[in-house]
Structure 1
């Protein structure tokens, strides 16, 4: 099989995030212990290095989406969220309403000073995700 749209595997933003599998019955099942162990092993920085090694230079926006997506997946799975729960955080309910992850990113952007390092920004996103997940 050959993917037909490589641009959507790592988008610049979350605004157009959709998952057809979100409404499959198995998306509401918890991850197996084996899958949780695999998710825990994911490392966005290593994935970015691997992509660069193979000639894919990610834009800073795409790298941010990968880092935040990986962060949310790891935190959500560790807290017992299902793929459906995590997908609902990533996807918009309607075209005109931001997704939860977009709201989290906006809150982080509002909380940090202009010119803040990407690492500090991601730490802020991480804290906001933690607060959000505690409310679930």
Structure 2
């Protein structure tokens, strides 16, 4: 009788590696696809402020986006980036945020502000988010 599990002539079954490689590749593709969206939202040029009493973010089922605001010391201006591109025109950013809010009523924005950013720029950032109709915001900080 023929079997697909390998040769049993010497009493030990053969180890099939092809199905294991298939499973590993599927897992690799899965983890790459779910983390790529989160990685796009993080700007590594931003030095987050330290808040020792900050709390870890709770997992919420709402849609969220990270608004990165970094301070360009050379030009003495803030630079806004959202989901990859930088926004020179604040009205364009407001429109993008307004569309996200229209598509997802519980949309949440996380402000990732540079620790060198003046307070007036944080106020300006909050005004942009408010103009888009988003009232659910939080700030990102390190606790160490």
Q: With structure 1 as the length reference, what TM-score do the two structures score?
A: 0.27
Q: Which has the higher contact order (CA 8 A, sep 6+)?
A: 1
Name the structure with the higher helix share.
Answer: 1
**Structure (1/2) with the larger strand percentage:** 2
